[in-house]
């Protein structure tokens, strides 16, 4: 992998990891276009840039990471549990779902879900407009929705934001809780992958790793800051349209044998 490829993948990871468009397909598609195979070394690289993106979330919500917010973090931990339990119990079955066709269809289905949810959702009727006011019941519901992200192509943030909206949160509050929930979720996932692929790191070019990490951090920070302002004024419909278009494109490329 070259420095340029590291920068490209860092940007793709940073922008797509926490927007409701799923990073999985984007990373696969871009890696394919760059001619990068899914080797253990490249998997290790993806773990590192994912950590860079997650660290950006930590920096954005640094004011929430303190003992004064212990009640909020109890709710975040409760929301984390369904994914942790289901992911552990069904880890072997989940691996079998990981196909490009599944990713493509989940892109399309996710886009349609955004349209349906926005059709009936009324922002002005949202009862919770502050992330500290999220109840334990709402946190658990969001956690249950997060388990859908175990299906490749679903989008963790998309599932949790929709779960938050359906449970009575404003879009901005749903996004805030989704990103706070990403901190333990993504660190746990990245930590597991790092331990599993620890031997692959010895063969890495640490300059390339460092560049990818920094680029993913910066691009994620900017993308999430933009998204939080976006959802205060607009719906998820544009992301739904994007998901459907990309899903159809993926199915076409699969049919043509490109992917």
Query: Which residues are paired to 169 by β-bridges?
Result: 128
Q: Which of 117, 104, 230, 110 is nearest to 165 (CA)?
A: 117
**Percentage of the residues of the chain whose pLDDT score is greater than 70:** 96
What's the rounded mean pLDDT across residues 10-34? 89
Per the prediction, the chain carries an average pLDDT of 90
Tell me which of 61 and 202 has the higher pLDDT: 61
pLDDT score of 249 more than 80:
yes
Closest CA to 59 of 185, 220, 226, 211: 220
Give one word for 19, left, alpha or beta, with left for phi > 0 and alpha for psi -120 to 50: beta
Q: Euclidean distance between the first and final Cα of the chain, in Å?
A: 20
Q: What is the pLDDT of residue 16?
A: 94
109 burial (CB, 10 Å; 0-12 / 13-18 / 19+) is: middle
Confidence of residue 174 (pLDDT cuts 50, 70, 90): very high
pLDDT at 204 over 70: no
Q: How far apart are the C-alpha atoms of 24 and 21, rounded to whole Å? A: 9
How many residues comprise the chain? 259
**The predicted structure's pLDDT at residue 131:** 94
Answer yes or no: is pLDDT of 66 > 90. Answer: no
Q: What is each CA distance from 58 to 55, 179, 215, 227, 254, in whole angstroms?
A: 5, 9, 16, 16, 36
Assess contact for 197 and 47: CB atoms under 8 A.
yes
Residue 227's alpha-carbon distances to 20, 104, 157, 209, 212, in angstroms, are 10, 23, 11, 26, 22
Is pLDDT above 80 for 38? no
Which residues lie closer than 8 Å to 251 by C-beta, 6 or more apart?
Answer: 101, 104, 105, 108
> What pLDDT digit, counting tens, does each position of 100-145 carry?
899 999 999 999 999 999 999 998 888 899 999 999 999 999 999 9
Residue in the block written with tokens 């690289």 = 45
Q: Both tokens of residue 72?
A: 């909020």
Q: What is the pTM of this model?
A: 0.92
Asked whether the beta carbons of 112 and 240 are under 8 A apart, the reply is yes
SS (H, E, C) 16-44: HCCCCCCHHHHHHHHHHHHCCCCCHHHHH
Short-list 134, 219, 213, 218, CA closest to 181:
134
pLDDT at 203: 59
Give the model confidence (pLDDT) of 181-191 as tens digits: 999 999 888 88
pLDDT the model gives residue 24: 81
Do the Cβ atoms of 18 and 223 come closer than 8 Å? Answer: yes
Residue 236: which pLDDT band, with cuts at 50, 70 and 90? very high
């Amino acid at each position: 992998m070259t420095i340029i490829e590291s920068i490209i993948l860092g940007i793709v990871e940073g922008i797509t990891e926490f927007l409701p468009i799923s990073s999985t397909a984007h990373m696969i598609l871009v890696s394919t276009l760059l001619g990068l195979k899914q080797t253990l070394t490249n998997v290790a690289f993806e773990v590192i840039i994912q950590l860079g993106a997650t660290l950006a979330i930590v920096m954005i919500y640094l004011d929430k990471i303190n003992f004064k917010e212990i009640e909020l973090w109890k709710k975040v931990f409760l929301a984390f549990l369904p994914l942790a339990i289901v992911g552990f119990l069904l880890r072997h079955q989940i691996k079998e779902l990981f196909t490009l066709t599944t990713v493509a269809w989940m892109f399309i289905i996710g886009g349609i879900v955004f349209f349906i949810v926005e059709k009936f959702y009324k922002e002005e009727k949202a009862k919770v407009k502050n992330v500290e006011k999220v109840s334990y019941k709402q946190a658990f519901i969001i956690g249950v929705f997060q388990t859908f992200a175990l299906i490749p192509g679903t989008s963790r943030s998309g599932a949790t934001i929709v779960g938050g909206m359906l449970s009575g949160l404003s879009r901005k509050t749903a996004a805030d809780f989704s990103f706070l929930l990403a901190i333990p979720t993504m660190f746990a996932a990245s930590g597991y992958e790092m331990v599993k692929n620890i031997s692959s790191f010895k063969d890495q070019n640490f300059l390339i790793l460092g560049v990818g990490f920094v680029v993913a951090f910066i691009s994620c920070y900017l993308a999430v800051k933009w998204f939080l302002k976006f959802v205060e004024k607009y719906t998820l419909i544009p992301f739904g349209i994007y998901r459907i278009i990309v899903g159809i494109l993926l199915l076409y490329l699969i049919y043509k044998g490109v992917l």
